[in-house]
Each structure stands twice: as structure tokens, then as C-alpha cells.
Amino acid sequence: MHWSYEGAAGPAKWGDLDAASKVCSLGSQQSPIDLGVALKSQLPPLVIAWNKTANTIINNGHTIQLDFGPGSTLAFGGDSYTLLQLHFHRPSEHLIDGKNFPMEAHFVHRNAAGGGLAVLGVLLAAGKPNETFSKIVSTMPSSPGPAIKADPAIDPNGLLPTQRNYYRYAGSLTTPPCSEIVEWLVLTDTMEVADTDIAQFTTLYPMNARPAQKDNRRYVLRSS
Ligand SMILES: [Zn+2]
């Protein structure tokens, strides 16, 4: 199914493109949302144990994505998830008090038992260069095509801030089919990446963010 971020196959039309993606327009727990109004609460710590390398990198026509082999885990509150892939949006999809950020990284994990997803979001701001992100943009395929081997210097841990406070809410995939199967965990601390690296990503994907969706009275919890 063809979809895009603007025009006849843009976000407002995703729900009409295909029977499987009706939830994009009819769903009640869609993502992204504005995280600004959050309830401070006791949330379990995020225990992240990722490998230091990615398997492959791909330009899939919607974003740049890195895929990971088995063994990278995210655990919180008694649930364990495995890291599948990392990809990027420009600008950020989640907003804070109506404001977006230059980019957002999504680390997609699957629950070992249930099959649900936990997506860890990291908001990226312009600032000092980040080694991992620099290596990604300097090796990303410039046009859509098959996955290629990822540079071994691409360590996903390099995109994690030291502080792991986070927002948590129940939501969906932000691309068709918009399935409402995602536990969203968006870190409150941003990571800095070089302006020139953001510009490099922008030459491929100037706008690949779904607009904020209605929160429909969902609670957003915040760990601090
Ligand atoms: Zn995403």
C-alpha cells in the first residue's frame, strides 16, 4: 500500500487507503500526541541492555531504519521486550506543550510473551555532535533500496541520555496500519545531535512526522 506524509496519500487519508489501516482514522488511541499534560507518578525504572552494534541499515522510502539481531532487551515493571529496529522522524512526532523538536528516534521493541510493542522515543535537539547519529547519517543509503550491512561503529546506546526519566502512555504505530498495540515510553531528557547531521538527514526526509492526534482523555504518566 502506498502512503506518504503529504498529498492524496497523506496522514489525513491513511484510514481510507486500505481496510487494514481503518484504525488510522477510526481509532481512539492514536499516536503521536502532545505529552505536555502529564501526571507525575511512580513508574518502574527502564532497564536497557542493548548490544553495541546494529545488523543492517535501510532507506525504506519512509525513513532510515537500523535492524538489530536477537539479545538486546528493554525491561520494566516485570515485562521484557526485545529491540527490533531503530528509525528516525523529522521533525519529532511527539510534542511537549505544543512544541516539537528537530527530530525523534524510535527504538521499537516487541514483547517476548504477548507480541505487543514498546517504543522508546528519544527527542533529538540541535547541539553538539553525537557519534552514533553522525555515523548513521554518513553511512545511510541516499535512495530507497535493500538493507545493507550497518557500520560496526553504530552503537544504539550512544543515542541514550544518562537520565532515563520518561513519559508513558498507551498508543499506536505512527505509520499505517496505525495498530493500537504500542506502550509508548518517551524519555524526558533530549539528546543533542549536530545541526549539520540533521541537515544531512533532511536532504533525504525533510518531513516524515505524523501530526499529533487527539488524546481522547488518555492519561500520560511521567516518572519525575
Ligand atoms: Zn517512528
CA-to-CA distance for 203 and 47, rounded, in angstroms?
35
Residue 114 banded pLDDT, cuts 50, 70, 90 = confident
Q: What's the pLDDT at 195? A: 98
Q: What is the distance in A from the centroid of ligand 1 to the CA of 78?
A: 25
In tens, the pLDDT along 116-160 reads: 999 999 999 999 999 999 999 999 999 999 999 999 999 999 999
Q: What is the distance in A from the centroid of ligand 1 to the CA of 210?
A: 9
In sequence order, which ranges of the chain are alpha helices (DSSP H)?
23-26, 131-139, 195-204
Q: In the structure grid, which three cell numbers stand for residue 55, read together?
A: 545488523
Would residue 13 count as lying in a domain?
no
In tens, the pLDDT along 68-85 reads: 999 999 999 999 999 999
Would residue 11 count as lying in a domain?
no
Q: What's the pLDDT at 193? A: 98
Mean pLDDT of 98-127: 95
Ion ligand 1: residue ranges with CB closer than 5 A: 106
- Whether pTM > 0.85 for this model: the answer is yes
Cα 200 to Cα 190, 204, 206: the distances in Å are 20, 7, 10
**Using DSSP, how many helices (H) and how many strands (E) does the chain show?**
3, 13
Residue 136 lies in domain:
29-222
Would residue 21 count as lying in a domain?
no
Phi, psi of 34 (to 5 degrees): -85, 125
Residue 183 banded pLDDT, cuts 50, 70, 90 = very high
The question of whether 94 is a catalytic residue gets the answer no
Looking up residue 117, the CATH number of its domain turns out to be 3.10.200.10
178 contacts: CB under 8 Å, gap ≥ 6: 14, 15, 21, 23, 24, 27, 30, 172
Q: What is the distance in A from the centroid of ligand 1 to the CA of 217?
A: 22
